[in-house]
Structure 1
Amino acid sequence: MDFYRRHDDINAMNDSRIIALKPEEPGTLATCTSVTRFVTALVVEELEAGMRFCFESGKGAIALVEVPKNGELSDFLALTVQHLGNR
């Protein structure tokens, strides 16, 4: 496993990376492989509707993760995950 949730954080491990996207950046494989705004963890309470991140596994698989635009954060976190390809 390359990502795990501990308490209120989503963390990267095993050479995986979380890449923060700006709202104007497209959620494409090209963007995810070129952007270098890496974060080691996401604080669940700080996530906002519409935020997007690229998750890159330690083996190079890349997925786009989006926080729903019309949802509220609660005891569970519902994300949309789309596999984009491999590095």
Structure 2
Amino acid sequence: MTQLIEALRATATRWRAGNQEHPGGVVLVWEGEVYGWKNELRDPESERPGTYAVDKAGVVFKAEGGDNYNGAKAWVAVDPDGR
């Protein structure tokens, strides 16, 4: 799990470096690629389950529950230690 978290953080950091007009907020990642940004963590139903969001501090959240058609049910903080 730690490798995944570090990879997500690195991906978000690279994106932020090239998109400095979007300070703060969360970087949205699907299958290892950035596809969007939001000014705050919100609207899980607008994301498919399995999407990750990385905030400015490096905290990683995962969209869980729901389905691809109706979107996710909630954002859940990912424990970097896998607990």
Question: What's the TM-score bracket when you normalise by the shorter of the two chains?
Answer: 0.3 to 0.5
Q: Which has the higher strand share?
A: 1
Q: Under a length normalisation based on structure 1, what TM-score does the superposition of the two structures give?
A: 0.40
Name the one with the larger helix percent: 2
- TM-score, with normalisation over the residues of structure 2? 0.42
